[in-house]
Structure formats: C-alpha cells, structure tokens
Amino acid sequence: MTHKSIKILFITWAILLNICPKIVLGQDAEALFIKRIYDHTLSQGQCDVWLEHLSNKIGGRLTGSENAATAVDYTHQVLTDIPLVDKVWKQPCMVPQWVRGDIEEVSISSDGNKTILKASSLGNTIGTDGALLSGEVIEVFDLDTLDMLGTTALKDKIVFYNRPMDPTRLSTGHAYGEAVDQRVHGASRASKYQAKAALVRSVTLLQDDLPHTGVQSYAEGITPIPSLAISTNDANYLSQQLREGTITAHIRNNPQILDSVLSHNVVAEIRGSEYPDEIILIGGHLDSWDLGGGAHDDGAGCVHALQVFQTLQDLGYKPKRTLRCVMFMNEENGLGGGKAYAKASNEKGEFHLAAIESDAGGFTPRGFGCSGHPEVFKPYLAKLQEFDLFLEPYDLYLKAGGGGADIGPLKSQKGLLIGFQPDNSRYFDYHHTSADVFENVNVRELRMGAAAITALVYLIDQKGLK
C-alpha cells in the first residue's frame, strides 16, 4: 500500500470516527445504517412535499370538517402507495364538531372613542349569535383572583385574562403549560360569577397582532359564555387603557356547536418478521385549527411518520417488529382518535412496545422525552439510553419526561411512550394562528426531524427494549 493510500484510509477512518466517535467494533452496521437514514432523508425525503399539500392544498383541518375528511383520504393514499406497507385502514372515531362562523368582532370604547381589537373565537365556545354583547372589562392575571372578587364585582362584566407566558422559562412548552389554563378554563370560571364573556391574552411569547385560537372547555353545570382570544399587542393596549380608566368591550361572533360526527384515524402497518406481536407506533395528529394550514401543528408530525415508512421502504429495510403509522384525528379538542385507537388495540390484546408521537412542530430536532407505566418505565428507559451511543453524534438526547396526548391512552399496555422534542423556541409564534403555514417551515429542519425519528425506530426495532 502506497503512502498516499494509507493517508486516504486514515482520513476516511477519521471521518467515520468524527461522525460516530463512540462507536466500537461490532456496532458499525447500526451506525452506518443510521447514517444512510440521514443521508437519504436529507437528500431525497418527501415529507416537505406531503406537508405542502396538507397545509396549502387542503388547509386547516378542523375536526369534523370537509378538509379533515380530505386529509384522511390523502394520507391513506400516500401510505397505500408505499410497497413495504402490508395494510392500510381507516379506523372510525366519533368527534365533536364546532364551526367558527363568519363573524368575529371585538372592540373597546372609552369616552366615545372606539378601537377594534384583533380577536379569534376559542374552540368549542358559544357565540353571541351575531348580536352585540357589551360589558365593562375587568382585568385579572390568574383564575383564583375571580374567587376573591366574587359575583358582586364580576356580574355582567367581561373578564379579561392577561397573564403572559413566562419569558424566563428555557422551555416555551413549560411556559405555555403555565399560562394556558386561563384559555381552557377562563370562561367557566368567569361564568361561575355571572360574567357575560371572557377575553384571553393569546398564549405566546411573541408580541404581534395575531390572535391564537385553541380549545376552551365548559365545566359541567356552568352556563356557557362566549370566550375569545385577542392578540398580545392588543392585550397590552387594553391593559394600558384600563390603567387610565373604565373600558367597555363589545363582542360579536357566531360559532356553532353541532352534533358529533363520524371521522377516522388512518392506520398503516408493516408486519414484523421476528416479533410481530411487539408494535412500534409512529404518529401525529391529522386535525388542526382552521386559522392557518396546520403546518407545524401537526402536519409536521404526520409527515414525519409518513417519512419513516417511506425511508425504510427506500432503503430496503425489513423490520423485525411490527411498525404502525397512525394519523390520529381530534387531538385538538377531544382526543377522539387517540381514545378510539387505544380502545380497539386493548380489545385485541395488542402490545405496543413503544409509541412515538411527533406533535411539537417541524423544527430542529433536540431529542426524545419518555414516560410509561411505573412498573416498566425505569428498565425501559435504561435500555433506551443505551442508544445514546448512536444518537449523540447527531446531537440527540434521550431522557425522562415526555410522551404525547394521542399515545397517552396506551399507557396501560406498559410499553414506552416517547415524545419527539424539537427546539421549541419558535413553536408558539405560529401555534394555532393564521401563520401556521408551510412557508414558515424550514424544509431541512423538517427532514432532520424525520431522520431522527426513523433512526430511533430502527434502533428499537433492532435491539428491543428488554
């Protein structure tokens, strides 16, 4: 061997070590296959093509809507066209049906001056049936304040919840979780004290003019009242005006709550060759709110799952365990699809060794968070963290704490529940708004997420969790 050949061999080995610095002899096959997954997904992935269709061609996919039904048919066809898939089916589920209506108006007035605010009805809210509802605005920053104010102060008023997300939280998901209670429960708590309506600061760190919708829920026995979100800029403006004097708000909207309707999850399966009774699920939720195209929430999660199957097909991979791709319906306002899937699975006596959900957008992957039944969680997590050897070179972590709403009902099967965790710094800039469109998705970041999930599926399939 010439000196030049030795030098080339040394450089090649150094490159491999740089890619997988902890890989040792005997593990090269897994490391190299994961590199093939990344190379193929980043250069030939189709997840962005599918997402563009879901977000731009179909659009917002409100549960029970025609768009949601179209998305079911579309993803069913995509999965049918993958030769590796053994079967594809539409799994029935009953879902609530809420229609936004064509009127959403909020304005405030003081001393004869009127200002229009940018507002959006919250999911499952009742409306004013197009009539004008007016009342004095009372600003609060948490739900418990209403208990102190009581009916005397709140009767016939419009309660304005103005608690912002905490910008000091490193995880915007944690900040969201701490602030979203006022959106979900605000109307019920205000109604308890005979308020007329609720206005809620949009749940985002971004200061802008976009109202963020999202689900709200009426407690049993409570008289429903209208509930709408206003943009953060308008929330700041309204708060400032309230410091200067009394403000009256005027609300007009006309959403409708209709009877529940039949919808479907889309499920595809690749039968395992060695352990067919151990299922590895990959999924996202197909429904979205209607203001935008549902690109990050959760079109990205759906096409991540589709890309896993397409990549394994393209690389000629035959799984040892049964792989399931699930497009869940109705995550946003009821979990009808997740509950129906778990019910059918439990009735068949199935076992999901692992369920992976992507529902945090199409941003740069950071890793995976895991949860599970206390009886099995620790040994499963310990086994999973052995995969750090293969995933750390791609800057991916594996840690406790995570999962997903749609896969949560599978916890009783005592498998591992895994949530894909991309960088969430920008997620709530788009979440539940008209800006959640394909044009605000970075294609490389989207494909990186699909590659990360495919790599984890491959490792669990190859090595199991026991």
Which pLDDT score, from 0 to 100, does residue 466 have? 87
Which pLDDT score, from 0 to 100, does residue 5 have? 45
Average pLDDT (143-167) is 97
Which sequence spans correspond to the domains of the chain?
A: 23-98+259-463, 101-254
Average pLDDT (417-440) is 98
Topology (CATH level 3) of domain 101-254: Glucose Oxidase; domain 1 (3.50.30)
CA distances from 314 to 84, 317, 319, 369, 456 (A): 9, 8, 13, 28, 17
Selection from 461, 466, 309, 327 nearest residue 407 by Cα:
327
Confidence check: pLDDT of 20 > 90: no
Report the DSSP beta bridge partners of residue 161. Answer: 140, 200
Confidence check: pLDDT of 23 > 50: no
Query: pLDDT grade, residue 18 (50/70/90)?
Result: low
Q: What is the average pLDDT score of the chain? A: 94
Q: pTM for this one?
A: 0.93
Could you give the CA distance from residue 383 to residue 121 in angstroms, rounded to a whole number? 46
Query: pLDDT grade, residue 112 (50/70/90)?
Result: confident
Confidence check: pLDDT of 213 > 60: yes
Query: pLDDT grade, residue 111 (50/70/90)?
Result: confident
Query: pLDDT grade, residue 205 (50/70/90)?
Result: very high
Could you give the CA distance from residue 282 to residue 301 in angstroms, rounded to a whole number? 9
Residues with Cβ within 8 Å of residue 339, at least 6 apart in sequence: 93, 409
Which pLDDT score, from 0 to 100, does residue 15 have? 43
Q: Active-site residue 220, yes or no?
A: no
> What does CATH list as the number for 23-98+259-463?
3.40.630.10
**pLDDT tens figures, 338-369:** 999 999 999 999 999 999 999 999 999 999 99
The tally of CA atoms less than 13 A away on the side-chain side of residue 311 is: 34
Higher pLDDT, 458 or 5: 458
Q: At what angle do helices 443-463 and 300-314 cross, to 10 degrees?
A: 60
- Which of 331, 332, 347, 375 is catalytic? The answer is 331
Question: b/e per residue, 252-282, with b = 16+ CB within 10 A?
Answer: bbbbeeeebeebbbbbbbbebeebeebbbbb
Could you give the CA distance from residue 10 to residue 8 in angstroms, rounded to a whole number? 5
